[in-house]
Amino acid sequence: MVVPSRSPVRLALPAFRVLGVLLAAGTPIAARPALAQSAKASAPIPAATLALMQARGTTASAPVLFRAYKRESEIEVWKRAAGGRFVHVKTFPICRWSGQLGPKRKTGDRQTPEGFYTVPQRQMNPNSSYYLSFDVGYPNAYDRAQGSTGSAVMVHGVCSSMGCFAMTDGVVGEIYAIAREAFAGGQAAFQFQSYPFRMTAQNMARHRTDPNIVFWRQLKEGSDRFEALGEEPAVGVAGGRYVFAPSKDPAKEALVAARRNAEEARIASLVEEGSAAVRTTYSDGAQHPFWAALAAKGTSLGDVSRPEALAYAGQEVVVIAARPRPVQVAEAVWSRWIAPDSPLSRTRMPGFVPAHEQAGSRFAPLVATYAQTWPRLVGLTLSGALAPPDFGLSPGTVSAKAPVEVVAQR
């Protein structure tokens, strides 16, 4: 993962330097705020990030796509490469998100939303009160179909969240620049994918009892399609659920089907093997360890929302305990353990005689399953080879065969 190498305070300095130049040049006071806003909104993409793009076969003007993961507290940047596939370029740590895993439902619930969102250029805000920002587009068609309410869910600066993705000023400045250059290159809108966690088979198996699992399976379907093809999924809503348009290329659709089948089989296998089922809970969202480590060293992150809640972030409650897997011992190993010349074969308690070395019992011919023992007992008794059982009957009152016959009739 690529993380900022400088503190968020330093990353935000270029705009203030520009403001200092404006002051020195005698720029009218009324024009200075607007010019400072323009400066931060037009800051270039860092050279190191441009080098990463070049190494991945893409450019600053190529279409962009963002993927956010709440549990991991990360936002990934993906750019379309020359071959047509989106490639991963960089990962940014989220300084603060709020709420629990799961979709946003209503205004004021502090939930950071999950789903597939579209961000056109008009949703970019260079005049944000949180340095720079863009509106992710909540509520989308799916959210409205669920009756969800709320608005103005942003990816923005600072480190305070009430349902947004707070990135710090420096990080959001770079994200903003990446999106701005994609728009300048002709992209009409970019897709913003928001997930509860990385949509792996392991995570789906672990969260299989969560109340949101049906919704998360829809998100995984879109995620698998993107992973299989490297193309932005065409997202729609039908019957109150996400749907994804199939590829026009049968070969590509076969790749999607193969990945979906492999992932479903892997989830089923994990459950069958006894994978634990958990609920991941939060007091109020979380923060990436990168920012927590900086704060622990004394670096100021500015205004951090509900810092006391971070101590209770990501607590796992075990709903179904993992079933221990039996240890498989190769036959070549256990056969040596029980061999007569093995040291283990002579490590016994005093007086202990293994069953295979014990003398045969005189009752051994009669001892079998119940279904076999009773008919053999009757047969031996009737043939006279075995004395009939004594049922307390007076001698001479019944023949030797009678007791067996009586018992058999019972």
- What pLDDT digit, counting tens, does each position of 34-64 carry? 666 779 999 999 999 999 999 999 999 999 9
**Looking at the structure, do residues 304 and 403 belong to the same domain, yes or no?**
no
The answer to the question of residue 173 being in a domain is yes
Please check whether residue 31 lies inside any domain of the structure: yes
Among the listed residues 156, 159, 207, 288, the single catalytic one is 156
Q: Are residues 339 and 305 in the same domain?
A: no
Give the pLDDT score at 384.
Answer: 77
Residue closest to 132 by CA, chosen among 153, 154, 157, 152: 157
Is there a single domain that holds both residue 189 and residue 337? Answer: no
Question: Quick one: pLDDT band at residue 312, thresholds 50, 70, 90?
Answer: very high
Domain co-membership, 306 together with 273: yes
Give a yes or no: residue 380 inside a domain.
yes
- Are 35 and 171 contained in the same domain? yes
Residue 20 forms part of a structural domain: yes
Whole-angstrom distance, CA of residue 162 vs CA of residue 108: 8
Q: What is the largest CA-CA distance in the chain?
A: 136
Residue 326 lies in a domain: no
Is a pLDDT exceeding 50 seen at residue 349?
A: yes
Annotated catalytic residue 356:
no
**Residue 107: pLDDT band by 50, 70, 90 thresholds?**
very high
pTM (two decimals): 0.75
Q: What pLDDT is stored for residue 144 in this prediction? A: 98
In this prediction, residue 190 carries a pLDDT of 98
pLDDT at 387 over 80: no
Pair 82, 24 in one domain:
yes
The CATH number assigned to the domain holding 28 equals 2.40.440.10
Check whether residue 25 and residue 69 sit in a common domain.
Answer: yes
Kindly state whether residues 244 and 187 are assigned to the same domain. Answer: yes
Q: 3 in a domain, yes or no?
A: no
Residue 2 domain-assigned?
no
Of the candidates 88, 95, 159, 164, the residue annotated as catalytic is: 164
Q: How do 189-195 and 315-320 pair as beta strands?
A: unpaired
d(CA 409, CA 403): 10
User: How many domains is the chain built from?
Assistant: 2
Q: Which domain holds residue 70?
A: 8-320
Provide the CA 324 distance to its chain's centre, in angstroms: 22
Q: What is the gyration radius of the CA atoms in the chain, in angstroms?
A: 35
Do 174 and 257 lie in one domain? The reply is yes
In the block, residue with structure tokens 């300048």:
184
Given 320, 344, 365, which residue is the final one in a domain?
320
Whether residue 118 sits in one domain with residue 16 = yes
Where is the domain boundary, 269, 285, 320?
320
The residue ranking higher by pLDDT, 403 or 10, is: 403
Q: Tokens 């809970």 — which residue?
A: 281
312, 336: one domain: no
| Among the ranges given (50-59, 124-133, 342-351, 392-401), the one the predictor scored with the smallest mean pLDDT | 392-401
- CA dist 342 and 355 (Å) reads 17
The listed range with the strongest mean pLDDT (32-46, 160-174, 352-366) is 160-174
Domain assignment of residue 177, yes or no? yes
95 annotated active-site: no
Among 281, 300, 320, give the residue marking a domain's end: 320
Query: Same domain, yes or no, for 150 and 200?
Result: yes
With a CB cutoff of 8 Å and minimum separation 6, the contacts of 17 are none
